[in-house]
Amino acid sequence: MKTFCNLQTVQKNVPFAIRALCLLATVTLLGATVAGCNSTNAPIDAFLPITTNNSTATAIESAAPILPATRIAYSTIHLLPAHFVNDNAARYVAPADNPVTDAGATLGRVLFYDKKLSLNNNTACATCHKQELAFTDNKRLSEGFMGGQTRRHSMSLNNIAYIDADGGGGNGRGGAATMGFFWDTRAATLEIQALAPIQDPTEMGMTLDSLTKRLAQTDYYKPLFASAFGSADVTSDRIAKALAQFMRSLITYRSKFDIGLQTNFQNFTAQENRGRAIFNGRDGNCATCHGTRQLIMERPENNGLDAVSTTDLGLAEVTGNQRDAGRFRVPSLRNIELTAPYMHDGRLLTLEDVVEHYNSRVQPHPNLSNQLRANNQANTPRRLNLSTADKQALVAFLKTLTDAEFIKDTRFSNPFAVLP
């Protein structure tokens, strides 16, 4: 049987009975391999090559990460051009107990793309945060490790290092809500945020104890943890810190808009400059919520998607305060062209839909942001009454925020993907 059971050597002159047994054995072995790789009892390093789920559909996943011989300089990524950093309202946040290091972010990159972080080895952080989409998902609700849907749309991770959580909405102090992580700002730090999806029963389904044991028995993690933290010990704290370091490295700053900041926007078309004027001026007033070089806001707001909050109360679910109902984190608009669908539930499918929402469809929610009220009157949403040309100009401006280099930057790419 050993001589004849290579499928390429089963020839016509082999007796029929032996050929039949060979084929049966091959099918049985293949079935066992597939079952083993997808069952909870599969060996920790069981591997079945599958095509990746990103735009480069020809890529194949390798069993171990392939990293450059020279370590990537993640620790200096935040040393950026003057136009980007000379913005006192947007501050790069690096905790004293977890600064970004080259070895730490390298480990974080591997963890971010490794499907071993999910119960059935089927889902990675990158499954819902795809580089080619500015580290978000193009589905309204993302798909978890067993096919279930997440409750909210996946947020982009670009420039997440510029979010100063300051305790987050879930800080338990009962004070004014400040910027945190997740749509409802419940995570006070990026390190806390990093571990939450791993333990979520829909998203990745792991326990931290099971995860640390699994990674400790995975050979390629031993040198990575040793380089990052001085020993090969795998702990949930180290996993969180490494993931946070990698995510703080995801900085986008090379868009047409960034070039414009350095050239007085002489690179913009007339339409794009008109859109910029609407965005920053009274006609649109967009910059009051999407300010700074990061185009973000420091606190969650209610943008009038609904007149009444029912199924998703947003920040109120964290604080217990009904005045926070319908309030959600204000995301950065950088790479907004790539991050559709939009809003916390992905209800708006295009940038045109987003512009029209703020133009004419804002609802009179009791907690509506002051910036969206007509003359600051309660229950009276502001109407922009933009012309068709102005709405098109605003969309054209938003597209200047796309950083084509960021979404192809190999420093942030999948280390498990190799070309065939």
pLDDT tens, per residue, the chain with 420 residues: 333 333 333 344 444 444 444 433 333 333 333 333 333 333 233 332 323 344 445 567 888 999 999 999 999 998 888 887 776 566 788 899 999 999 999 999 999 999 999 999 999 999 999 999 999 999 999 999 999 999 999 999 999 988 865 544 443 333 334 568 999 999 999 999 999 999 999 999 999 999 999 999 999 999 999 999 999 999 999 999 999 999 999 999 999 999 999 999 999 999 999 999 999 999 999 999 998 888 888 789 999 999 999 999 999 999 999 999 999 999 899 999 999 999 999 999 999 999 999 999 999 999 999 999 998 887 899 999 999 999 999 999 999 999 999 999 999 999 998 765
Q: Which two tokens stand for residue 273?
A: 């400059």
Quick check: is 50 in a domain?
no
Quick check: is 52 in a domain?
no
Omega before residue 341 within 30° of 0, cis: yes
Q: Which two tokens stand for residue 298?
A: 């420091």
Residues 309 and 195 in one domain: no
Q: Identify the pLDDT of residue 412.
A: 98
Residues 278 and 387 in one domain: yes
Distance in Å from the first CA to the final CA of the chain:
31
Quick check: is 53 in a domain?
no
Quick check: is 17 in a domain?
yes
For residue 388, the SS3 value is helix
Residues 133 and 182 in one domain: yes
Residues 180 and 267 in one domain: no
**Of 351, 356, 340, 419, nearest to 388 (Cα)?**
356
Q: How many domains is the chain built from? A: 3
Please state the separation of Cα 112 from the chain's center in Å.
10
Q: Identify the pLDDT of residue 108.
A: 98
Q: Identify the pLDDT of residue 22.
A: 41
Domain residues for 153?
60-252+405-418
Quick check: is 261 in a domain?
yes
Q: Are 335 and 401 in contact (CB under 8 A)?
A: yes
Q: Please, is 16 exposed, middle or buried when counting C-beta atoms within 10 Å of its C-beta (0-12, 13-18, 19+)? A: exposed
Quick check: is 201 in a domain?
yes
List, as one string, the DSSP characters of 169-222: TTSSS-S-----BSTT--BSSHHHHHHHHHH-TTTT---HHHHHHHHHT-TTHH
The answer for 167, left when phi > 0, alpha when psi is -120 to 50, beta otherwise, is left
Q: Which two tokens stand for residue 358?
A: 């703020």
Q: Identify the pLDDT of residue 74.
A: 97
Q: Are 189 and 165 in contact (CB under 8 A)?
A: yes
Q: Are 126 and 112 in contact (CB under 8 A)?
A: yes
List, as one string, the DSSP characters of 238-304: HHHHHHHHHHHT-----SHHHHHHHHTTTTS-HHHHHHHHHHHSTTT-GGGTSBTTTTB-SS-B---
Q: Identify the pLDDT of residue 291.
A: 83
Residues 295 and 188 in one domain: no
Residues 244 and 307 in one domain: no
Q: Identify the pLDDT of residue 155.
A: 94
Q: What angle do CA 203, 406, 164 make, to 5 degrees?
A: 65
Quick check: is 55 in a domain?
no
Helix, strand, coil shares of the chain, percent, nearest 5, are 40, 5, 55
Q: Identify the pLDDT of residue 164.
A: 63
* Polymer length in residues for the chain: 420
Quick check: is 123 in a domain?
yes
Residues 72 and 203 in one domain: yes
Residues 309 and 392 in one domain: yes
Residues 214 and 229 in one domain: yes
Contacts 24+ apart (CB under 8 A), 39-42: 39/120, 40/119, 40/120, 42/121
Other Cβ atoms closer than 10 A to 181: 27
Residues 109 and 94 in one domain: yes
Residues 369 and 344 in one domain: yes
Residues 358 and 375 in one domain: yes
Q: Which helix (H) or strand (E) holds 57?
A: none
**Of 317, 289, 291, 293, nearest to 303 (Cα)?**
289
CATH number at 82 reads 1.10.760.10
pTM, full prediction: 0.83
